[in-house]
Amino acid sequence: MAVLPSWVHILVGCFSASLAWASNLSALEPPLWKESPGQFSDYRVENGVYIVDPWVFPERMGLYKILLNQTARYFEKFAPENEQNILWGLPLQHGWQYSSGRLADPTRTTSCGYASGDKLCISVDSWWGDLNYFLSSLPFLAAVDSGIMGISSGQVRLLPPPKDEKKFCYDVSSCHSSYPETMNKWNAFYQYMQSPSSKFNDLLKYLWDAHTSTLDHTAARASTKSWGHFFLLFCNLICLMIAFCHQTVC
């Protein structure tokens, strides 16, 4: 991603913003968190395969909720109550996209994502919705693939959007063939996470690698893009990471 003007400027801006945020991060919970599926059995099952519709906000959020739940045990040694699970950044960012209306249909040709229409709908025409698709499906499916989710690789499938089906991948094997490098980076993160001697700072590095690989390899697939969007996305990610970092050792 050679598009960024200056990391220094971004970092400085983000750092001050995140300090305020970090101090009350633990009070935050993503919107509709309680209503979102928290275990596989909350989803529909077809022939032994869990079916997730990631174009509906709580169902996509549920992927994060299960991921946070299943990874909690690896973060216990850093803090109680899953507070230091660095994956919190993902659902928090997604929640912010939802609350700020970024997941709605920007063309306004449908009521997808609007309070007056289908509020919970995530539009495939939303740049944020598309990028977040990869930032939710790939980490989730890689976790399934790493064997930490308690189900086998073929046991979960995501549903395609109403159009542009070819832009995305929907299960462990197809995401592996489309994004081998990114899936391997996420796998590396989960592998390291399972190591009893894992260090918080190194976990952040693995996570950062997986994050940036996801954006590098998928950003071209998302609908319309602009500088401002990338800037905001990166700033947001950096903020989240600094926020966690700030809470602990840095």
Give contact residues for ligand NAG (rule: CB under 6 A): 20, 24, 27, 38-39, 69, 72, 82
Q: C-beta of 204: minimal distance to ligand NAG in Å?
A: 20
Q: Which is nearer to ligand NAG, 28 or 49 (CB)?
A: 28
Q: Residue 150 or residue 180: which is nearer to ligand NAG going by CB?
A: 150
CB of residue 239 vs ligand NAG: minimum separation in angstroms? Answer: 12
Closer residue to ligand NAG (CB): 2 or 27: 27
* Residue closest to 101 by CA, chosen among 86, 119, 79: 119
Going from the C-alpha of 249 to that of each of 90, 102, 200, 230, 240, the distances in angstroms are 21, 33, 9, 28, 15
Among 153, 146, 151, smallest CA distance to 188 is for 146
Count of other CB atoms within 10 angstroms of residue 123? 27
Shortest Cβ distance from residue 155 to ligand NAG (Å)?
Answer: 18
CB of 131 to ligand NAG, least distance (A): 24
Spatial separation of the C-alpha atoms in residues 199 and 22, rounded to whole Å? 20
Comparing CA positions, the residue from 190, 217, 70 lying closest to residue 134 is: 217
Nearer to ligand NAG, 42 or 53 (CB): 42
